[in-house]
Amino acid sequence: MIKDTIDKELLERFEAGLNPLNPSLSTIPAEIIGYGEMSTIFVIDDPSQKGLAYKRMPIFRSIEELDQYERLYEEYNTLLGRIGLSVPEFASVRVFPEKGNMVIYNVQERLTANSVCNQLIHRLDSGSINTLFILVLRDLKKVFGFNAGDGHIQLGIDGQISNWAVKDYRENRIIHEHTELFYFDTSTPLMRKNEVEQLNPELFLRSAPSFLVWLVRWLFLEDVMTRYYDFRKVTIDLIANFYKEQRSDLIPLLVDTANNFFTTEAGEFSLSPLTIKEVSAYYREDAMIWRIYLALRKIDRLLHLKILKKPYVYILPGKIKR
């Protein structure tokens, strides 16, 4: 089991020697393989950790917050599996640094880079990409079908193409309607019980620029906490992600495929059709917001390190191509 291969003492030494400004200069070498708004994804260069991917979340300020998050993370992953999605084997580990927030390291079975779908869409033909897109829509339908049931629980999901991978992928493998996918972006376990969000919304604000927390809370927090419960909005976000992945040529095909899916396989949801103009406008606004947000986070980092002389615990990505 994955829990048996985690070296907590190594993680504690990794955290103690981490250089968030330049991770390559950290005491224990690690390779950054991805970034989220609250987490950084990396692999540790140690033989004992081969096959594990870590998500570092330095956002917790109390044991109660750690307890609540870990329970929710476990329940979210379990429920996704129960309704028919495949998630990689997972675990979580607590680390308590001498300075800064408490940290949770979410651990997953590492998937091969060439199996991740935002890599595949640059190697597959358009027909295979379209099949891959339909497979994602079918998994999303499982989530929103569950949400539409009579139960008191609803799950949010970020369906972007970069959050999926092909199971048991081999080079030149044919993508067909029975191909199975992994969904691996589970570190933001959005879940409502009796219409009440279970994930502490203030956690989203921990990585926001300190001087703009009030503005982010006012303008964006509600949208972030609600968009991933809306099948249509999640689909728009999924298609718009192809702009960021430099495959804008596929947008017309994907819009047509989504609209056909809405009227056939997802007809019971009565979703209104999408337009290319709508998807394009969504992406332009979203890209602008995140571009500005990252620039402000870099200013916040400068303020912490140079002016306030305080540690800045987040690892920021470099320039993102959009």
Predicted confidence (pLDDT) per residue in 264-320, tens digit: 999 999 999 999 999 999 998 877 777 777 778 888 888 877 887 887 777 777 666
- Digit-coded pLDDT (tens) for 158-204: 999 999 999 988 877 789 999 999 999 999 999 999 999 999 888 87
What pLDDT does 293 receive? 73
Nearest to 221 by CA among 289, 292, 138: 289
What pLDDT does 292 receive? 77
- Digit-coded pLDDT (tens) for 108-132: 999 998 999 999 999 999 999 999 9
**pLDDT tier at 321, thresholds 50, 70, 90:** low
Residue 134 one-letter amino acid? I
Token pair 């897109």 is found at 133
Question: Which residues have C-beta within 8 Å of that of residue 91, sequence separation ≥ 6?
Answer: 2, 3, 6, 106, 107
pLDDT higher than threshold 90 for residue 134 = yes
- Digit-coded pLDDT (tens) for 24-58: 788 888 888 887 666 788 888 888 888 899 999 98
**pLDDT tier at 71, thresholds 50, 70, 90:** very high
- Helix, strand or coil, per DSSP, at residue 99: coil
What mean pLDDT is predicted for residues 210-216? 70
What pLDDT does 24 receive? 75
**pLDDT tier at 209, thresholds 50, 70, 90:** confident
- Helix, strand or coil, per DSSP, at residue 2: helix
The span from the CA of 300 to the CA of 217, in Å, is 17
Which of 14-23, 95-104, 212-221 is least confident? Answer: 212-221
The span from the CA of 73 to the CA of 178, in Å, is 28
For CATH 3.30.200, the residue range(s) in the chain are 2-109
- Digit-coded pLDDT (tens) for 235-274: 999 999 999 999 999 999 999 999 999 999 999 999 999 9
Packed helices 251-263 and 276-302: angle between N→C axes, nearest 10 degrees: 110
> Which stretches of the chain are assigned E, i.e. beta strand?
30-35, 40-44, 52-60, 90-95, 102-109, 153-155, 164-166, 181-183, 191-193, 196-197
The span from the CA of 129 to the CA of 81, in Å, is 24
Token pair 């589970």 is found at 186
What pLDDT does 277 receive? 97
**86 neighbors 183 (Cβ within 8 angstroms):** yes
Instruction: Please name every residue paired with 40 in a beta bridge, in sequence order, or none if there are none.
Output: 35, 56
Nearest to 123 by CA among 76, 57, 74, 175: 175
Q: Which CATH number applies to 2-109?
A: 3.30.200
What pLDDT does 73 receive? 96
Q: List the alpha helices (DSSP H) in 6-112.
A: 8-16, 63-82
- Digit-coded pLDDT (tens) for 153-168: 999 999 999 999 999 8
What pLDDT does 38 receive? 61
The string of DSSP letters for 213-240 reads HHHHHHHTHHHHHHHTT-HHHHHHHHHH
**166 neighbors 181 (Cβ within 8 angstroms):** yes
pLDDT higher than threshold 90 for residue 21 = no
Instruction: Please name every residue paired with 93 in a beta bridge, in sequence order, or none if there are none.
Output: 105
> CA 316 → CA 151, 152, 284, 293, 312, distances in Å?
39, 37, 22, 11, 10
Give the H/E segment covering residue 299.
helix 276-302
**pLDDT tier at 220, thresholds 50, 70, 90:** low
